[in-house]
Structure 1
Amino acid sequence: MSLIGEERKDTILNMLNYAGKVRTNELVEKLQVSSETIRRYLEELENENQLKRVYGGAIKINYDREEPSHLMREVSHADEKRRIGRAAASLVQDNDIIVIDDGTTTLHMLHFLVNRKNLKLITISVPALNLMMEYHNKEMFSGEIYFIGGRVQPKHFRTAGTLAENMMQGFFVDKAFISIDGILAQHGISSYDCEKAMIAKRIIENAKENIVLTDHSKIGVSTFYKVADLKQIDTVISNVAAPHEWLHELDAKGVNWIVAD
């Protein structure tokens, strides 16, 4: 494969990360090559497990068809999540009212919040609740803690459902820190779980500022249930830069993308 061929394949993957799928006729026009050449590129990328060919084009591979358990997520990309959590915590100011969504990435934020003064912290995450109570009992955290009650999802150590949604509707917050299962520039953020997505919608509606935390594995992925368009999100914090193909869309929708170092 020539250098220009590799560059074309990179372009195909960037387009795939942007929209989750590509069409052969679009690639012919974009790359100014024949449809036979495009089919060869797609075949090579499929052999490299980079995509899955379908009639008329290709789609992004999503190996996970359901949300991993909390324990599995806890050990996945742990170092990246810690850096993302630290960067997210740096956005929290004294006297803020914040909501911490369920998720192992958002959980990493909490270690960096102990010195903030007069915080009000709201969460649906049982591990987040336990950790902040521990910090409070050790006099390392002096703020107020609110737990959103509802139906417990034991596999994911969180609450969800109608009771949780109704309770969340009663809170208005300065900043919401949202965990996700997938993000696409065109289609926004998504979740595997319908009930989790619904409470995330309520959180986003009641926050002045919405901040998404995501490691690289969620970028270019679309999961079962849509949570929000990117225009509803103010900031994305990740361990990698935004895909180049996304930059215009992010700018048009007013999304600030922060790379955690």
Structure 2
Amino acid sequence: MRSNPRQIKLLHAVREHGDLSVETLAEMLGVTLQTVRRDVQGLADAGLLVRFHGGVRVPTSTVENIAHTQRENLHAAGKARIAAAIAREVPNGCSLILNIGTTTEAVAKALLQHQGLRVITNNLNVAAILSGNTSCEVIVTGGVVRPRDRGIVGEATVDFIRQFKVDLAVIGISGIEADGTLRDYDYREVKVAQAIIDHAREVWLAADHSKFGRPAMVELARLSQINRLFTDAPPAPPFDSLLEAAGIRCTIAQDTP
């Protein structure tokens, strides 16, 4: 399609933020909701954007995640709120596992003031962050290190995780689909995450609003396997009903004072 200057500006805004609501786009562009919806529909028809309930996002691959450095900047404020909400609920003196992801890395930063934690992780970034907390014992799994994000994966990682039974597993995810499945891109990472779920007494999912409806290739788990969800905005249909049906306690991380 031949995009006009307003549509080009809309594209740049969505690419910068990852996803935006229709209302936010209308305010940014100084136009009506009807105009934005028309522009979004044209750009979506051209394959340049993907629509979801109430908003729009950049197209994503089902087989490969975006770069770690880009993910660090996407929804950073929302991830920080999620991390702070989780940290408030994590008791001192407990054992937990943090897996791969920029959201779990934000959780690690939020736990720097905790006392007596024993943390197992297959994320070298998490290990580096929490090593700054001298009252926290950090255990790093064995396995193969992925250079792109310093995640550790493979059969050795799975075997290592199986030695433990922790109080809490705090996991990130690439996508939550409308059928209630949690999905990711790397089957080796998924195998590790499945072992983490199986070897935790309670599982907390940390997922910002952009993960709802985002497709990925490999099924990791179902919502029914999660005890709590921490996110940064109220889940839209059908996810609100799915969470209720699964009996998941959902915490919406608000702006901190």
Query: TM-score interval w.r.t. the shorter chain?
Result: 0.7 to 0.9
Per the TM alignment, residue 111 of structure 1 is displaced from its structure 2 partner at its CA by: 2.4
Output the CA distance in 2 between the equivalents of 1:179 and 1:110: 12
Give the match for residue 74 of structure 1. 72
Per the alignment, residue 150 of structure 2 pairs with 157
1:131 aligns with 2:124: no
SS of 2:131's equivalent?
Answer: helix
Counterparts of residues 83-162 of structure 1 (less than 5 Å): 83-136=81-134, 142-162=135-155
Deviations 1:166-220 (A, max 9, x none): 1011111111111100002423211011111110000001111111111121111
One-letter identity of the residue aligned with 1:214? A
Separation in 2, partners of 1:162, 1:215: 29
Structure 2 vs 1, CA of residues 219 and 44 (structure 1 numbering), >3 Å: closer, same or farther? same
Q: 2:177 aligns with which of 181, 184, 196?
A: 184
Q: Which moved more, 1:197-206 or 1:179-188?
A: 179-188
Report the aligned-residue RMSD. 2.2
Counterpart amino acid of 1:226?
Answer: E
Q: Could you tell me which residue of structure 1 aligns to residue 61 of structure 2? A: 64
- 8 Å contact from structure 2 (residues 111, 130) kept in 1: no
Going from structure 1 to structure 2, the CA distance change for 1:249 and 1:76 (only over 3 Å counts) comes to closer
Asked if the contact 2:177–2:215 (Cα under 8 Å) also holds between the matched residues in 1, the reply is: yes
The question of whether the paired residues in 1 share the 8 Å contact of 2:61 and 2:216 is answered with no
Which stretch of the first structure deviates more once superposed, 246-255 or 77-86? 246-255
Q: Which residue of 1 aligns with 2:212?
A: 219
Aligned to 2:239: 246
* Conservation of the 8 A alpha-carbon contact between 2:60 and 2:215: no
Residue 193 of structure 1 is matched in structure 2 by: 186
Aligned counterpart, 1:204: 197
Return the offset for 1:48.
5.0
In 2, Cα distance between equivalents of 1:235 and 1:189: 14
| Equivalences for residues 22-41 of structure 1 within 5 A | none
Q: Do the aligned partners of 2:183 and 2:219 also contact (CA within 8 Å) in 1?
A: yes
2:167 aligns with 174
SS in 1 for 2:113: coil
Where does structure 2 lack aligned partners over 5 or more consecutive residues? 1-37, 52-56
Q: Residue 119 of structure 1 contacts residue 143 of structure 1 at CA under 8 Å; is this kept in 2?
A: yes
Are positions 1:47 and 2:45 aligned together?
no
Amino acid corresponding to residue 107 of structure 1 in structure 2: E
**Which of structures 1 and 2 has the bigger CA Rg?**
1
Q: Deviations over 1:98-117 (max 9, x none)?
A: 11111111111122223322
In the TM superposition, residue 254 of structure 1 has moved relative to its aligned partner by 1.1
Give the conservation status (yes or no) of the 8 Å contact 2:168–2:203. Answer: yes
Q: Could you give the per-residue CA deviations for residues 224-243 of structure 1, whole angstroms, max 9, x where no partner exists?
A: 10000100011111111111
Taking structure 1 as the reference length, the TM-score comes to 0.74
TM alignment of 1:228-247, pairs within 5 A = 228-247=221-240
Q: Normalising by structure 2, what TM-score?
A: 0.75
Q: Which moved more, 1:204-213 or 1:248-257?
A: 248-257
Counting aligned pairs with the same residue, the percent is 27
Q: Which runs of 4+ in 1 moved over 4 A?
A: 43-46
Match for 1:126: what amino acid?
L
Runs of at least 5 residues in structure 1 that lack an aligned partner in the other structure: 1-42, 53-59, 137-141
Q: How many residues align?
A: 208
> Aligned to 1:118, what secondary structure does the other structure show?
coil
Whether the 8 Å CA contact 2:98–2:119 is kept in 1: the answer is yes
Greater length-normalized contact order (CA 8 Å, ≥ 6 residues apart): 1
- Structure 1 residues 18-61: Cα deviation after superposition (integer angstroms, max 9, x where no partner): xxxxxxxxxxxxxxxxxxxxxxxxx9974252658xxxxxxx98
